[in-house]
Structure 1
Amino acid sequence: MRVLVTGGSGFIGQALTRALTQRGDQVVILSRQPGKVPAMTGVVTVDRLQAISGKVDAVVNLAGAPIVDKRWSESRKQLLRASRIDLTRDLVSWMQTRDVPPAVLVSGSAIGYYGSHQDEVLDENAPVAAGFPHELCNAWEQAALVAESASTRVCLVRTGVVLGPGGALTKMLPPYRLGLGGPIGDGQQWMSWIHLDDEVGAILYLLDNPSLRGPFNLTAPEPVTNEEFCQTLGKVLKRPAAFRMPAFVMRLLLGEASELLLEGQRVVPVHLNSAGYAFKYRTLEPALKAVIKT
């Protein structure tokens, strides 16, 4: 299979590319910065869609600027929209011009689609809460769904916090190793996480099963509160995790974007489970141990 991956230079994209090439697939990576894409056998990197020649069997759309590293000024919001929605629209338009359209588009989204919730358990059909995260993810998904046709199926992957070398843990580990880690705010907000191996495994599963389409929550079956996450991480590192970050500090640092850290979603992967995907890491402690020893 020949697979086009957007965002292939990113954390998830690089792991997916390795998995695809290891099983014998060919990969074309679309990247605005081709020089940052590691050289790999069986991988071609382009900086524009028009440079792609030959048949493409499948597309995985993972492109998007980081969402929680800066305050959401209006200019930042516009960048977040452009890097997701505009790129997806361009990608779908390109797919529709192909003589033989790709058979499947697996397109990125996030559990921010649901907005902020308290303790409600959220499956793929759960109600949403208004706000910028939902607005962004919904428009992103709608742009991808334009590709749905008799020739192309579309899978939307609503990803939670991805745990793996180089991911969300990168900024967390240094203070935890010093014994300075701990919950954010009251720690009761839910964290829906997934190990990188399962993020990649689920994407491959969606690529390989032609009966699957629609939204899929890419989260482990057992979400945890922020408090439980922090205590488990401290346990794995054999360090205390009692240094609580006050909510007002996060609001001062990130403004509106602090919503993603102070409020949460208790998301479960009902559609993946129903489709028969077998998670490698269903619970948090083994997942953290696997990442930290890597």
Structure 2
Amino acid sequence: MIILITGATGFIGHHLIQRLQCEHHTVKVLSRNSKRASHMLGVAAFDWDYATQDVPAEALHDCQIIINLMGENLGNGRWTEARKHEIYASRILSTRKLVAAAPESLHTFVCGSAIGIYPGTGDDLYDESYVALERLSFMQTLCHDWEQEASRIEHRKVRRVSIRTGIVLGDGGMLKKLLPIFKLGLGGPVGNGRQWLPWIHIDDLVSVFCEAALNTRYHGPVNAVSPNPVRYREFATALGQALHRSTFFPIPAFILKLALGEAAALALNSYHITPKRLLEDYDFKFKFDNLPAALADLFTES
């Protein structure tokens, strides 16, 4: 297959391209810095500034699948109004332009999304059937609008999948930020530690994206989370054990709110999510469905 990927130099994109290359697909990427992207990833890369430019036609030539991972990092600093605009536009506008530019050769559009589409409160268990009648937070609005933009591709008879990603465990993302603290023995639960944390190992997430791209049974929203979510307190304990460190230092909610403002919701919200469609509709086999085993795989040499 000829596959075009945006956001390819990020944590998820880097792993995904490695897998697709191993499976002998032709991969092209769009990047703000095509020279850097091509050198880093070893694939053909094309310059694209989503905010000011149309999608380059040469990148779309003969393209059969688009995987859209583009989006400003949610965890980099406070969500000022300007920052929220960047986060929103990087996802919505880029998706809108990709949909508008879709070539005749395109048959599949896989787009990022996130568990932020769910309410993020309490212990209620949510699956893909949930409908956000009211957008009560920035994250819900962002994810809802992102999926709506992606779904417009279906009017052109193109299969669309929106991957609602949870907390990804691997050599990047949230773990990269937590490791220095936990390795010093200063880690612990955030807030009261009772909030649900829906996690997924990077290897399983890459498999979900590959299946979504190549398996025509996949369509619509798909929760990319482990079938065994844990509470934040359990996660902190398991991470400490994997690193052979104590976890006696809880981080009070008010400290996070003072430091991060609205962005503190990423750590304080409670997302009790099940991957119902992966399990029941697609019979997806998780390589890592147990948190201690997933962490052991990542830190066997720590």
- Place the TM-score, normalised by the shorter chain, in its bin: over 0.9
RMSD: 1.5
Cα distance in 2 for partners of 1:168, 1:247 equals 17
Q: Aligned equivalents of 2:6 and 2:293: distance in 1?
A: 30
Q: Percent identity?
A: 38
Q: Secondary structure at the match of 1:221?
A: coil
Alignment of 1:49-64 (within 5 A): 49-50=55-56, 51-52=58-59, 54-64=61-71
Tell me the residue number matched to 2:288: 281
| Counterpart AA for 2:30 | L
| 1:158-237 aligned within 5 A | 158-237=164-243
Alignment match, 2:16:
16
Q: Is residue 4–residue 60 contact of structure 2 (8 Å, CA) maintained in 1?
A: no
Q: For the residues of structure 2 that align with 1:163 and 1:104, how far apart are their CA atoms?
A: 27
Q: Is the 8 A contact 1:27 1:42 kept in 2?
A: no
Which segment is superposed worse, 63-72 or 124-133?
124-133
Partner amino acid for 1:119?
D
Please show how residues 229-248 of structure 1 align to structure 2 within 5 Å.
Answer: 229-248=235-254
Structure 1 CA distance for aligned equivalents of residues 141 and 237 of structure 2: 33
Closer, same or farther in 2 for the Cα pair 1:40/1:67, shift >3 Å? closer
CA distance in 1 between partners of 2:43 and 2:278 (Å)? 28
> What does residue 47 of structure 2 align with?
47
Name the SS of the counterpart of 2:39 in structure 1: coil
The 4+ residue runs of structure 1 with deviation greater than 6 A are none
- CA shift in 2, pair 1:282/1:53, >3 Å: closer
In the alignment, which residue of structure 1 is the partner of 2:109? 105
CA distance in 1, matches of 2:289, 2:14: 23
Deviation, 1:177, is 1.2
Question: Which residue number in structure 1 is paired with residue 129 of structure 2?
Answer: 125
Number of residue pairs the alignment of both structures matches: 291
Aligned equivalents of 1:15 and 1:107: distance in 2?
Answer: 16
How far off its partner does 1:252 sit?
Answer: 0.3
Residue identity matched to 1:136: L
What SS is found at the alignment partner of 1:108?
strand
Query: 1:49-70 CA deviation, whole Å, 9 max, x = no partner?
Result: 2142520110100000011221
Distance 2:252 2:145 in 1: 32
Counterpart residue number, 1:74: 81
CA distance in 1, matches of 2:77, 2:181: 20
Distance 1:9 1:77, change over 3 A: same
Q: Structure 2: where are the runs of 5+ without partners?
A: 49-54
Partner in structure 2 of residue 86 of structure 1: 93
TM-score by length of 1: 0.95
Q: Secondary structure at the match of 2:153?
A: coil
Q: What is the deviation of 1:106?
A: 0.6
CA contact under 8 A between 2:4 and 2:59: conserved in structure 1? no
The separation in 2 between residues aligned to 1:91 and 1:262, in whole angstroms, is 33
For 1:182-208, what per-residue CA distance to the aligned partner results, in whole angstroms no more than 9, with x for missing partners? 011100011001000011001111112
